[in-house]
Structure formats: C-alpha cells, structure tokens
Structure 1
Amino acid sequence: MTLADLSLEDAYDTGIRGDRVITDFYIPILQEAITYKRLTGYFSSQVLALAARGIAGLIKNGGKMQLITSPAVSEKDFKVLTSHSPEDLQKYVNDQFSIAMDDLNDLASTIAYDHVRALGWMLREGVLEIRVLVPREIEAGSGIFHSKVGIVEDSSGNVVSFSGSVNETAMGWSQNIEEFKVFKSWIPGSSNWVKHDEKLFDKYWKSASDSGFVSIPLPEKATERLMSIAPEAIEELQLTFPKVSESRKLRMYQSDAISAWENSGYRGILEMATGTGKTFTARECIKRWKIEKNDSLILVIAPTQTIGAQWRDVLSDMNPITSFGVKHWKESVRNLSSNASLGVVRHMVIIAIQNTASSDDFIDSFSKLMKLTKNHLVIADEMHGLGAPLFRKALNPNIEARLGLTATPNRWFDEEGTDLLNNYFNGVAYSFGLHEALTWVDPESGLTPLCPYNYYPEFVDLDVDEMNEYLDLTKRIIMQSNKASDQEGKERLNRLQEKRAAVLKKANGKIFALKKVLETLGSVSGCLVYCSDWEQINQVIDIVTSRGITYRTFTGEEGTSPKREYEGKSERDWILQSFEKDEIQMLIAMKCLDEGVDIPSAKIGIILASTTNPREFIQRRGRLLRRAPGKKLAQVYDMIVAPTFDLDDQSEVVASARKIMQKELKRADEFARDALNSSEVSGKVLARMMRMGEQNES
C-alpha cells in the first residue's frame, strides 16, 4: 500500500472528529512513510510527544525523521542573544530544552511519555535530526515560531503535506485542539501546495536569510538529555495508541452503586472494598452525570501522586489537567480558563492531590473556573483523608454534585471528621464490602471480584523486657489519663500511647516468626512484607539476603521521575514492574502500600507491622486479594502479639494491657471469618483469646 491508496480527508478538525485524527490520519500516513519532516511549535515535553504521534510505522519501515522546533524567546531573552555567538545560542537552547524535559511527568499517559523516549532512541540510532530555530530579531510576536507543517513521503515517491493550527500548550495527548489542511502530490492543484510546504521546510532547515530565524543543530547537551531516556530496544515502548475501552461491562454491583448515587441526587459515598473497581465505577458516574450537560467542571481529589497518576490514565480521553508532576500547574489552569472563556472547551477535568486541593492558591484558581461553567462535580478518592483538619478546605461547599470513594468511610478515633464527611457527601449511598467481594460471583467469569485467601495467624509472645516495658508504659498511660486534659497533657498521652504501640509493632518474636514462615514457604515470588519502620526493614533484609531472596524496599522514598538507570521509568514504577515480572521476588514495605498502589501480582502477604486501625488492615488485606492472571489463591501471614497473662492478676495495669492486646485478636478473628480455612483458624484464634484471659467474647 502507498499513501495514494489511503482514504485521506482534505482537512481535519479535532473539534469535529475528536481523537480520530490520530487513528485516521497520523498513524495511517506514517505506516507508509520512509521520511517524515515536521515543523512544530516552541518545545516542551507535550510538543515533543505530539510531534511523535504515529511514528511506530515510520520506525518499522526503517524511515528517517527531521524535526524543527523552537524555544519561546522573550524580549529579555533576545537581548542576551543579540550577538548570536555560538556559545550564547548553545547555552540558551540547552537551558530551554532542559526545562522542557523537566516537565516530562506532566504528560497525560505512559504512551505519550514513550513517544518522547522513541525520539531519544531515533536520535541515538541516527534516524532523527533535530534543528532549533532562534529569531534573528524580536518584533511583536516574532519570538515564537508559529508554523506547523508536516511532510510525509513513501517509498513510491508519493508525498502528503499538512499545515494549519495546532494548540500545543496544555490540552492533552489524544484530543489536542488542531485544525489542518491536507495536500497530496498525486492530485493536480493539491501538488502545488505540497511543493510550497517542502520549500518552506527547506528554508527553515537551511536557515535561509529571509526566514527570520537562525537554524542550529540541537546542541550536544540537549541531545544527550533526550537520548538518556531512550530504551535499549524500541520494542520496550508502548507506541500503539490505545482507545478507552467501551466494551467493558459494568458488574451488577457497580451498576447498583451508580444508580444509588444518582437516586441520592448525585451525592453520596460509595463504600466499596479495595479491588472492586471503584475508579471504573466513578468513571461511569461521570459519564452519567454529564449526559445532556452543555458544560462541566470536574475536580478529582487524590490522596497521593501515585493515585493521581492512575486517575490521569483512566481519564486520559477527557484531557485532565493535573496539579502534580508539573512546575507550573497554575499556568495550565490559566490556559484552561482562557480556552473555556473563548468557548474552545466546554468540559474540563482537573486532578489534584489533597494538599494542593486544600491550598488557598488552588481554591482561588478553581473558584474562578467554576464561574465559567454551570455544572460542577467533585470526586474524592480515599475520601476519608479529607476529614483531617489540614485538608478540610478542599471540601468546596459550592460544588453541587459530590462523590466520595473509600473502603473505610469512618475515620479512626475522629468522630468529628467522620461526621463532617458524611454531611458533605450526604452519607453512604452504596456499600459493597470485603465479604461481598469474596462471595458475589460474576455470572460471566464465574469468579468473585476478589481472590480467595488462606489466613495464617502467627502468635507471638513478648520477651521479659518487652513485657515489662509494655506494662510500665500502660501504668504511665493510666496515670496521664487521670490528669488534666489540656492540649499539652493530650500530646504527652499520645506520645506514651505511640511508644506502647511500638513495643507491639517491633516485638522481637515477630522476626523469629518470619524466619519460621519463610522456611515453610516453597516459593516467595510475589511476596509483600509489611514493616513498621526502618529498623524492622533492616532486620528483614538481613534474613532474606541470607536466603538469596531478591527484594527491594518500598517506603515512599523512591524517585518518581524517569531515569535512564531505570530504563526510562521512575524508580517507583521500575520496582513495581520488576516485581510483577518476578524479577524481584519480594517487596519490603512500610505504610505507602496501604493505600492506592495496585500490585495485583502479589499473592503472599506477611504482616509484621501491627495495627488495630480498621482502615489500615482492610487496605492491606485488599491489596493482596486483587485478581491477576494465574492467581487463584492468596496467602496472608499475620504476626500477632498475644502473650499469656496470669489470669489471677486482676490489677488495673494488667487488665488494661490485656484489653489493648485483645484488639489484635479481634483483627485476627475478622481476617479469619472470610478465609477459606476459616474453621481451622477461628478455633486457633479462640484458643488464644482464652489463654489471654478474654471474657464474655468469642
């Protein structure tokens, strides 16, 4: 097939055709290409990604590409460049290109980022040349290179050129606003415009005196920076443009959840277990809510950047603006506001992290956007976090439609925060808990939403020193509780309680129990170990190292920016992908795995970090029960401090200590209830309760 065999329109307009400009134009023409010449706007990570759309076909054909781009030069910048000395130009371009590359995390999806990496690969392989234009003079509007032209030639000598308007600022990967005309060399009349575009490209490439610009090769440092994110092999990259699947069907409980939210006046909390598809359900809520609305402004609030990035991918076809991964989110919001004022966009989505969403700057910017639209919706993922005093300002009272998502809507020891959230979101509209997720069977797949599991509690005693410290701290807590309840007294009491909790979390017996568990396991592939702190992590590292187990720590300190040493991925993503591919057998983690990190390939969990907070232990269990190909059963090993007390000792201190530790057994009892080996384990838990002297409980 040649370019002449393609059914190409004479013009394309994303305002009419939507994201089909990629699948109907860029991909088909570049599948036939052997050369691709492109003039694009001032460079940024977004512009580089846009310029590379569809190049998978060009690469497959062994084709070559020439790219012309330009920095945005202000009058102040131009004064520095007046001499046009090579040193000035090189330094200026290197600096501007470095800024563009620093914004890579602002790209809306993995595929956009991989297209920039593909340009780095093409540079390294010698099949891409990049030249940079700097203006010869700085008149009004001349500091930015405006021409947008593309020229594609196939092996038969057929040429397609396209030119027109492309808004390459901040409107996203799949639906960037562009309108361009298409010219074909084999059609009389149209061929003259092809020649015109070819001459225009050559004029800028060769830096003709009448072009108004000086053309220089991309400087060495900038070239090295782009090549630094190149993959070893082009096959590593995702260069096939994905469409959002419309064929995925809602499960019955997801449809029920959406209906419940609609029937509650588009307000309510969806209390759904981890792994049951809250995000997909929320996406469908958005679609239902937007029906017949002429405009909309949607705010998604996520607790962490990792969860925010997941939302960015899920909603990529809605062109979300993000407040994270960028240095200038305010500028992105201003651009969005300008486009909304001009009527260029009518439906807007912003994804913000909790701390940003509750900041005065963000609230002010978002309030201005609200004035441009009539319909507003907020979606709060892991909404329980917004009950904290620090984040409550994110709960904008002027947003009419409200959707809260969580597996655990009640805040731990915070009745005020819980009531605040219930009042704002109008309470729980629908509930689908862990028990339902382990027993409801999908009629199409024959599977439950979550993977079944076996539960193995490992009961641990405190040694003499630990028991004495625990009882001493309990005595001091009782004394402090009876004192004045001013703020200083409450803080002192809180510190004592934290110290006592640490005794349970870091009990030495847990490390011995871990050794025992590892000896019984035939394989540790897909294993998560939850630790309480770095001291415990280092103890675990010593044990697994001696057994030749491959591991990585996962503590929240991992880098989130792409690095060449991690194959162009962030350290965090590289670790998770290596774990999924079984190149890393074990992740040794702290609290950062409690919320929002998807690791469906994990099938063994070892819990060393004690917690009686329902949210934390529900999240940990749910993290292990996500479905994955070939995963039929999960195993949960739970290290529980449950020492034997002297039943004759009825002192207040011992009674209080026994009561606290019995909460650990309550957690074990709850874990056991839904396990496949429930009957076996429940008896074991009950026996331990009796040894601890629990009364009137079962």
Structure 2
Amino acid sequence: MLRSVPAKGVYKSDRDNILEDFYLPALSVATSYDRAVGFFSGSTLSYAAQALSAFVANGGTMRLIVGAFADARDIEAVRRGEESRALCERLGEEFLASIDEAGGELFEERFRTLAWLVAERRLDIRVALRPRGMYHDKIGIITDATGDAFVFAGSANESAQALLPTHNYESIDVFPTWRPELEEYFAEHIDSFARLWENRSRGTAVMDVPTALSERLLEVAARTEAPPDPAREAAIARRLAAQEDVEEELRPSGPRLPTSIGGSPFSIRQHQRDALNAWREKGGFNGILDLATGAGKTITACYAIVQMAGGIPGLTVVIAVPYQNLADQWCDILELFGIDPLRCYVSKADWAERLDRTIHEIEMAARPFAAIVVVNRTLKSPEFQAAIARVPGDRLLWIGDECHHHASESFRGFLPEQARYRIGLSATPEHYLDAERNARLAAYYGETVFTYTLAQAIDDGVLTPYDYFPHIVELTADEADEFVDLSNDIARAFAREASAGSKPSLGLTALLMKRARVIASAANKIPALAGALDGARPHPHTLFYCGDGTVEGDADDGDGQFSGRQIEVVSRQLDCLGWRISRFTSREPRRERDEILANFRIGLIDAMVAIKCLDEGIDVPACGTAYILASSRDPRQFIQRRGRILRRSPGKDHATIHDFVTVLPAGHDDGEGHARKLIQSELRRVAEFNALARNASHAYDTLRPVLTAYDLEHIL
C-alpha cells in the first residue's frame, strides 16, 4: 500500500531519480491514477505515461487529461455540447503529428503501455481546451485499494527534447492524503482535477479524445504481444540516461536558449523583446529597463546575454546584485541558459583565485565567454575591483539588478567605467525624494529606455489581478502624543537645516526613523490583524510584513503576548491561532532562509513573517495573500512588495492584499495639522494599491470617514 512507500515531500530530477524512487513504487501498489498534464506533445504523453508499466498489473483504471489550444468560439461550442467535427479532425492531426515526431525507444515503450490500457478499457483520455496563453494544471492523484492517495503537483520540461531522463527536468511536490495537516494543499488539487474532468473548470472546455488518436492507440495495442514490463521501462531509461551523460560531455558548452522553463516551452514575451530593442536602439546598448516586479527582468537579461555571446568573442558578463539569495536565483536561471557562472560571494577563498584565472583567460583571448555573479558587498572588495578592471571594455557587459542601489554615493568609483554594454534592471529605478541619486544612476547606466508598468503586466496576464483591503488603525493616546512631539521636533530641525542646504543631519535622520517606528509598530495593529484574520483557518502561501520596532501592550491587561518586537508579537498571535509560520529576517542564516522558502513553496508552513528581507528580488510566486502591517513612505518598498505578491503561480488566479493604514485618534488635537499630513502620507500608498485593484470601491467605503474628516475624498 502507499503508506509503505517512503515518499519525500519534494522531488527534483537533477538530484532524484523520480521514475525509480517515486513513480514506479507508488504506481506498483495503486488501483487508480488521475493525471492532468500540459499541452499535448510527444513529451507530455511520455511524461504522463512514465511508470504505467508498473500500474498495469493491478487492474486499476486511469483518467488522463491533456491540453490543447482552441479559439473562444470552439471552446464555447464544446461547452454547449456541440463538438465540431473540424476541431476534432484538426486536433487529431496535430496529436498524430506530435506522436510521429517524438519517436525514440523510451517513448515507444510508454506509448505501448498507454495503448494496452486503452485496449483493456482501463484508460480514459479527455482533452482540455483553453485559449492560447492560459496555464494548464499539472496534477497527479495516485490512489490505492484503501483509499489512501499521493497527490502531487509540479512542473516538468515538456519540450520536444524532454523524452530522455537527463533532459526531462521535473519538480514535484507530494502530499499524502493520510496526513490531515496537509489537507489545505492536496484538497484543492483533487477538486481541481474533478472540476476539469467534469467540464466545470472556468475558462476551459473538455471534450473526448479525437478519434484519430484512439484509433492509433488501438492499432499499436493490436501489435503489442506482451504486457508492459516495468523492469524493461526502467532499464531503457537507465541506458538512455547513461548515453546522454556521455553525449552531454561532448556537447558544445556556452550560452544557449532553453527549450522550456518551468514546464512550458520557452519564448521571450513581447514586452521583453521590446525592452531589449529599446536598449539597443535608444540607448546604444546602455540604459535602464524599468520592468514591473515579476515581469521577467532576469529572463530578459539572460536572453540578451545569449544573443550577444554569439556575436562578441570573449564576452564577459558581470551581474551585480544586492543579496546572496538573489545571486543564487540568478545562478539558477543562468544555468537554464547553458551558463555556469562564477559565484563571487560568500567566502573569498571560493572565488578569488578562479576569478583571477578567468580574467587572465579573457585577456589572452583564450576563453570564448565568461559570466560572473557578484553581490554588492563583494563588488567593492579590492580583489574584485583589481580583477574586473582588467576586462577589456569592448567585451564587458555589466548588468546591475536592483540597480537603484548603485545610485548610492558609496558606489562611486566601484562600477567599471570601461564597460561598453550596460543594463540596469529595476522596477523602481528612481528615488522619490533624492534627485542627486537619480542623476548618479543615469550618469552610469544611462536613461530609462523602456518602461513596462504593473497595469500593463496585469492586462497582459504576466501578473495576477488582486483585491485590496485597507484597515484603519488608530494610534493610542500615548503614541499620538509621541508622534506629534516628534513631528514638531522634525519641523524645527528641518527649519534649522534648510538654510544650510545640506543633507539631513544624523540627528534629523534619527528623529525621522523614530517617528516612522511609532507608525509602523502601532499597538492597535495587533488587534486589527486579529480582526482581519477573523478566526479563519490558516491559509497557505501567506506573507506578513512587520516593522522592526517594538509593540507596547497595555500593562493593565496583563496580556504579555502583546508586548515585544512587532514580528515576535505577530508570530505569537499567529501561533495561537494555529498557523504554521517561519520568520524570514536578516537574523536567520542563509541556509535556513533557503529552507524556509522551500517549505513555504510546498506548503509545509502556512506563512512567512518578514521585515525587509523579501522586499527585493527574492521570488515567492506561490504567495497569494499578504498582510502589510508596516510600510515605509518610500514608494519603492510598497511597489516591490506588491509586485512580489502578484507573480504568477500554478493554481493562483488572483492575490489579496491587506494594508494597515495608521491615523491619529479621532478628536486628537495636534494644532499643527500633523493628523492631516499623516493620513495624506498613508493615502499615497493606498491610492497606488487601490488604483489597479479589482475591488477599488471597497477602499473608498472603508476610508470614507477619514477622507471626509480631512477633506481628502479626491485622493481616492
């Protein structure tokens, strides 16, 4: 039975033999198998059929859903039960062409197994029609005689080259149904398959398999003399994998476009192509690409690298990023493009000598291509500076990710002036207050040559739509007094320093930070959060953004859980409500943060409670809900956070943002208009979030009393 199969929670084909470690043992004890894969091709069929040879002996049945593109009229006709003969014939021809193109020993073995099951009337195949560009779920449900099941979901390389074990990159998350704590994760997949099979899935129409494919399967079954053999399938897979390892060693290395990414055929999006055209034509291979968070900045740059590497012998690419987690993500994506970068971060002993050797080979024209990923801290080191200065400028492509960091005065003299080719990547390149920073950024990277807004990304389906729920939080009387006192002190300090024309002094900066912490750590945000959660069950893939200040609870309440650092108080509150959480801050070691992100993605934890570590760069596409308890006045922060929440992910059709808006208590008389200034400051964020929300009227209804009181209704 399935409980005896030692399944892991996550399998990745670059480190696991998923066929022999999961599919074969699980299907050998299964009695039913539901499978939904991507759009039909020879490789998707092989992907769906792997290990079915072990399933045949148990007498079980299988339901298989494959995808196909169709236009809106055909989809609507099928939903009405009016299947078009022309559509069936077209799909049948396309399917047979894909099968004929696939070929190969492993594919043929698996196709014979599918044919055997069809002939035995134990396999039912249906086709899910969707408009071009829509995502198709990749789900599997393996069930045994006791009713226990493994529910798994994930991605696979379903390109034409995906039939060999070494090419077929696959990543799946496995959820045993006998573990009730995982029900939040497997129940939706079970329901999703049922909706799809029963033609109840929104935007999809399901039809029977085309006659041409059924007839081909029956023809193959008639020629099959012996039942499928799992030992034979495994042996073929092992032999082909060994052959592929040898061929891989002989295959030319270097930058190349991937055939697929994340289980979908790779092609650059139109906005990415337009961005690179603008970089070339407007900026002369210099400039900033202002792409909305989640719009594929990294993929855009990798595409540029591949194209340039083909035309510039000895091209050296240096990618500078602010954080190690972001550097790791870059390296992972570069590898998809056939690029093995030198990682210049963590320990100097790991990279210094290799960097020197790599640069020497570039100088001597003995190396056709080099890629280097460096974090900003290492970028400033003497060893890195000395090495990078030796790279010939006409062969140097410099890429600054989150390039707005390089506008800081602290980077003056550390960015390679000889670089002929420069790309700045940022969703928020300009600082909202500091013109000097903006000028420094443009002086090095050039002007912003292309902008792709969040609104465009949502309209194009690159990012998910979202709902926005603001929650009003009043400062306590003591907090309000402190806020007003600090605001008066800040006003006086500004008046004193204005005549000098210099930057804010350390004293003024300290006052501004102290006031910001009063707003961010308002004690009433804790009960407001409880109200927003409203006793609901923990919901997976949720983020809680906290401030770095301290919450002062009411000592008279005797409730200690409402005192301490805000992140600790929120964590305790969520724990009491049954949430499985992990904190994600700079205090956690890098390895632990990697593990937290993995556990969040597969649902082993419900939520991450963060301060600032998730503000830039780090991908958490599974995140569907965010509670923003603290936010700075800098638009850069809340724009980055919103984009992070809106990234596309399987099964995610929208996102939800809860925002806690701080105001002075009603009737609090500050005499200097600070209450109005505070709400005006908060409303800048609210207006930005609300402008693109699906439920834009909700924010106005919620905030109407405050808007009316301060005559600010025009802002929303």
Is the shorter-chain TM-score for this pair beyond 0.5, marking a shared fold?
yes
Distance 1:324 1:688 in 2: 49
TM-score, structure 2 normalization: 0.59
Paired position in structure 1 for 2:588: 558
Residue of structure 2 equivalent to 1:462:
475
In the alignment, which residue of structure 1 is the partner of 2:676? 658
2:472/2:703 contact within 8 Å kept: no
In the alignment, is the contact (CA less than 8 A) between 1:173 and 1:319 conserved in 2?
no
CA gap 1:258/1:173 in 2 versus in 1, 3 angstroms:
farther
Displacement, 1:633?
A: 1.6
Q: CA deviation at 1:505?
A: 0.4
* Percent identity for Structure 1 against Structure 2: 31
- Note the C-alpha offset of 1:295: 2.2
Say yes or no: does 1:638 pair with 2:659.
yes
CA–CA distance in structure 2, aligned partners of residues 173 and 469 of structure 1: 70
Aligned to 2:45: none
User: How far did residue 500 of structure 1 move?
Assistant: 1.0
1:423 to 443, 452, 465: 443
Structure 1 residues 293, 575: closer, same or farther in 2, change over 3 A? Answer: same
SS in 2 for 1:408: coil
Quote how far apart the aligned CAs of 1:409 are: 0.7
Q: Out of 377, 380, 392, which is 1:358 matched to?
A: 380
Aligned with 2:512: secondary structure?
A: helix
Deviations 1:627-676 (A, max 9, x none): 111111211111110235559x683x3x1442133111121122111111
Instruction: Tell me which residue corresponds to 1:311.
Output: 330
**For 1:566-585, what aligned pairs fall within 5 Å after superposition?**
570-585=591-606
Q: What is the one-letter code of the residue matched to 1:619?
A: Q
Structure 2 counterpart of 1:674, from 682, 692, 695: 692
Q: Which moved more, 1:464-473 or 1:407-416?
A: 407-416
- Give the equivalent residue in structure 2 for 1:610: 631
**Among 420, 425, 430, the residue aligned to 1:400:** 420
Unaligned runs of 5+ residues in structure 1 are 1-22, 24-110, 115-153, 163-171, 178-241, 441-447, 561-569
Check conservation: 2:394, 2:420, Cα contact below 8 A. no
Q: CA deviation at 1:453?
A: 0.9
Find the partner of 2:346 among 322, 325, 332.
Answer: 325
SS of 1:451's equivalent in the other structure is coil
- What does residue 256 of structure 1 align with? 274
Indicate whether 1:536 and 2:557 are aligned. no
Query: Contact between 2:484 and 2:670, CA under 8 Å: does it hold in 1?
Result: no
Report the counterpart of residue 293 of structure 1 in structure 2: 312
Larger radius of gyration: 1
For 1:305, the aligned partner's letter is: Q
Q: Match for 1:499 among 499, 514, 519?
A: 514
1:483 is aligned to 496
Q: Say whether residues 1:269 and 2:293 are aligned partners.
A: no
Displacement of 1:402:
0.8
Please state how far the C-alpha of 1:489 moved relative to its aligned partner: 7.2
Query: Does structure 1 conserve the Cα–Cα contact (< 8 Å) formed by 2:538 and 2:579?
Result: no
Verify the 8 A CA contact 1:668 1:685 in the aligned structure 2.
no
Distance 1:687 1:255, change over 3 A: farther
Q: 2-side partners of 1:609 and 1:593: how far apart?
A: 13
Q: CA deviation at 1:312?
A: 1.2
CA contact (8 A) 1:274 1:619 kept: yes
How many residue pairs are counted as aligned between the two chains? 450
Match of 2:194 in 1: none
TM superposition shift of 1:364? 1.5
8 Å CA contact 1:553, 1:588 repeated in 2 = yes
Local SS of the residue matching 1:378: strand
The alpha-carbon distance between structure 1 residues 574 and 266, as it changes in their structure 2 partners (threshold 3 A), is: same
Unaligned 5+ segments in structure 2 are 1-13, 15-165, 170-234, 244-248, 550-564
Offset of residue 259 of structure 1: 0.8
| 1:393 to partner: Cα distance | 2.8
CA RMSD of aligned residues (A): 3.1
Q: Deviations over 1:433-466 (max 9, x none)?
A: 11111112xxxxxxx1111111000011111111
Task: Give the superposition deviation at 1:695.
Answer: 7.9
Correspondent of 1:508 among 523, 528, 532: 523
Local SS of the residue matching 2:505: helix
Q: Aligned partners of 2:634, 2:327: CA distance in 1, in Å?
A: 24
What is the rounded CA distance, in whole Å, between the counterparts of 2:451 and 2:298 in structure 1?
A: 15
Report the counterpart of residue 620 of structure 2 in structure 1: 599
- Counterpart Cα distance in 1 of 2:253 and 2:270: 35
Aligned to 1:216: none
- Structure 1 residue 412 displacement after superposition: 4.1
Q: Residue in 1 aligned with 2:130?
A: none
For residues 397 and 297 of structure 1, the distance between their equivalents in structure 2, rounded to whole angstroms, comes to: 14
User: Counterpart of 1:376?
Assistant: 396
Question: Could you say what secondary structure the match of 1:319 adopts?
Answer: coil
Preserved contact between residue 342 and residue 355 of structure 2 (Cα < 8 Å): yes
Residues 474, 657 of structure 1: 8 Å contact kept: no
Going from structure 1 to structure 2, the CA distance change for 1:650 and 1:173 (only over 3 Å counts) comes to farther
User: 1-side partners of 2:649 and 2:380: how far apart?
Assistant: 36
CA distance in structure 1 between the partners assigned to 2:305 and 2:631 by the alignment = 38
Flag the 1:579–1:696 CA change in 2: closer, same or farther, 3 A. Answer: closer
Alpha carbons 1:669, 1:682 under 8 Å: kept: no
TM-score (norm 1): 0.60
Q: Give the 3 Å change call, closer, same or farther, for CA 584–175 of structure 1 in structure 2.
A: farther
- Deviation, structure 1 residue 326: 3.6
State the AA in 1 paired with 2:642: R
Q: Judge conservation of contact 1:174–1:319 (CA < 8 Å) in 2.
A: no
How far is the alpha carbon of 1:479 from its aligned partner?
1.9
Q: Return the alpha-carbon distance in structure 1 between the equivalents of residues 618 and 511 of structure 2.
A: 32
Give the SS at the match of 2:299: helix
Q: 1:512 to 1:175 in 2, by over 3 A?
A: farther
State how far apart, in whole Å, the 2-side matches of 1:411 and 1:175 are: 44
Give the distance between the partners of 1:548 and 1:450, measured in 2 at CA: 31
1:335 corresponds in structure 2 to 357
